[in-house]
Structure 1
Amino acid sequence: MVFYFKARPEVGDFTIFMGLDKFENEELIKYGFPEDIWFHVDKMSSAHVYVRLHKGQTIDDISEGLLEDCVQLVKANSIQGNKVNNIDVVYTPWSNLKKTASMDVGQVGFYSSKMVRTVRVEKRINEIVNRLNRTKVERKPDLKAEREAVNSAERDERKRFLREKKRREELERLEKEKQAELRSYKGLMVHENMTSNKQIASANKSLQELEEDFM
C-alpha cells in the first residue's frame, strides 16, 4: 500500500507519497524515479516520504512551500519525531539512495553525503498536516511495472531522437553535396573560362587549310 498526498496548489501540481511499511519502502527504494526526492527524519525512525518533481527538475527546484509540506508530513509520520520539537529532516535525490545486501528491509544509505541536505523543523504545524491528510489516497501500485513502463518510453524516445538526428545529418550531407555541385558548376560557367564558337573557329584551321599546308 502506498499513500499519496497532494501538495498545496500554489506550489504547482506535485504528488507526495510514502509506503505503508518497511516492505513498501523497500519497493519504493528499488523502483524510484529520477525525479523523486526522498525525505526522512534524521537519526529517528520515520516514514520514507517522497515528492516526485517534474521531468527536468532537480532538488534545487523545490520551493519553500513544497519543502514545508514534505518535512511536515515526514515529521507527522515519525512516532518519536512527532512528539518533540526542533528535529532535523534529511532529504536527497532518489538516485543517491544506496542499498546493499547487508542492510535490513527498508534500510538505506547514501552514495554521497554531499548530496544530502538537512532542514530544521521547529514544530508540527497541524494546519499543514491536516490539509495534506484530506488529500490522502491509498493505492496498491505495481511499482515495478510503472518503472518498466517509464524505462520503455524513455528507450522509445531515445530511438526516435537518434532516428531524427540521423535524418537531419543525412539531409545536411545532401545539402552540402548539392551546394558543392552548384559551386563547381558556377565555376565552369564563369565568363573568363568560357570559349565562344567564334573563338573556337578562329583558333582552329579549316580542313582546306590543313590540306594546303600538307601540300
Structure 2
Amino acid sequence: MVFYFTSHVVAPSVTLFMGADKHENEDLIKWGWPEDVWFHVDKVSSAHVYLRLGPVNDIPNLVLDDACQLVKANSIMGNKMNDIDIVYTMWANLKKTAGMEVGQVAFHKDKDVRKVRVAKRNNDTINRLNKTKKEVFPDLRQEREGRDREEREDKKKLLREKKDKEKEEEKRKKDEAELKSYSTLMKAENMSTNYDGNDSDDFM
C-alpha cells in the first residue's frame, strides 16, 4: 500500500507519496520514476517520501517545506526532535546493493544529495496534507512501464516530426535552386535565336 498526498501550495498541485512500510519502500526504490525526488530524515529512521516533479532545482520552496514536514512527521524519532536535517536527491541517485536490508539505500553520488534543516513540526502543514491522504494499492511496475512506453512514443513522434521538417527544408532548398537555375537560364544574355537574317521561305 502507498499513501498519496496532494500539495496545493502551488498551481498546478503536486503529488507526494510514501510506502506504508519498508517493503513498499523497497518497491518504490525499484520502480521509481526519473522525475521523482526522494526525501528522508538524515541519520534517523523515517518514511521514504517521494515528490513527483522535475529536476531538484525546480522544487518551489513551499513544496519543499511540505515534503520535509511530511518526512519529519513520519519518523518516530524525527517527529520528536527539533532542528533535524532532511536529505533529498533524485530517484536515479539512489543506490541499492544485494547486501542491504529491506528499504535501505545508499547513493551513487554523495555530491548530488541535498540537505535542508527543519526547525520544528508544523501542525498546520501536516493537517492540511493529511486531509488529502489516500491509501492506494498501485501496480508500481505497470505504472513505470506505462510511463516509459509513453516516453518512447513521444521520442518517436519528435523524431518523425524532425525528419518531416528536414524533408520539407530539403525540398524547399531544391525548389529554390531550380527556380534560381531557371531564372538564370531566362536572362537575355543566355538566350539564343535561330534567326539567320534570311526572310525567304525557300529552302533551296
Scaled to the shorter chain, the TM-score interval is over 0.9
Question: Secondary structure at the residue paired with 1:82?
Answer: helix
**In the alignment, which residue of structure 2 is the partner of 1:18?**
18
Q: Give the gaps of 5 or more residues in structure 1.
A: 209-215
**In the alignment, which residue of structure 2 is the partner of 1:40?**
40
Structure-2 separation of matches of 1:132 and 1:78: 16
**In the alignment, which residue of structure 2 is the partner of 1:63?**
60
Q: Which moved more, 1:107-116 or 1:136-145?
A: 107-116
Q: Which moved more, 1:86-95 or 1:96-105?
A: 96-105
Question: Structure 1 vs Structure 2: percent identity of aligned residues?
Answer: 56
For the pair shown, which has the larger CA radius of gyration, 1 or 2?
1
Structure-1 separation of matches of 2:8 and 2:169: 49
Q: Which amino acid aligns with 2:20?
A: L
**In the alignment, which residue of structure 2 is the partner of 1:8?**
8
- The answer on whether the counterparts of 1:40 and 1:90 sit within 8 Å (CA) in structure 2 is yes
Pick one of 63, 70, 75 that aligns with 1:73. 70
Once the two structures are superposed, what CA deviation does each residue of 1:39-68 show, in whole Å capped at 9, x if it has no partner? Answer: 000000000001111xxx321111111111
More helix by share: 1
- The answer on whether the counterparts of 1:6 and 1:136 sit within 8 Å (CA) in structure 2 is yes
- The answer on whether the counterparts of 2:5 and 2:16 sit within 8 Å (CA) in structure 1 is yes
- The answer on whether the counterparts of 2:39 and 2:67 sit within 8 Å (CA) in structure 1 is yes
**In the alignment, which residue of structure 2 is the partner of 1:181?**
178
User: Is structure 2 residue 118 aligned with structure 1 residue 125?
Assistant: no
Q: How many residues align?
A: 201
**In the alignment, which residue of structure 2 is the partner of 1:27?**
27
When normalised by structure 2's length, the TM-score is: 0.93
Pick one of 166, 172, 195 that aligns with 1:169. 166
RMSD: 1.6
- The answer on whether the counterparts of 1:11 and 1:63 sit within 8 Å (CA) in structure 2 is no
- The Cα of 1:197 is off from its aligned counterpart by 3.9
When normalised by structure 1's length, the TM-score is: 0.88
Structure-1 separation of matches of 2:97 and 2:178: 62
- The answer on whether the counterparts of 1:7 and 1:66 sit within 8 Å (CA) in structure 2 is yes
- The Cα of 1:9 is off from its aligned counterpart by 3.5
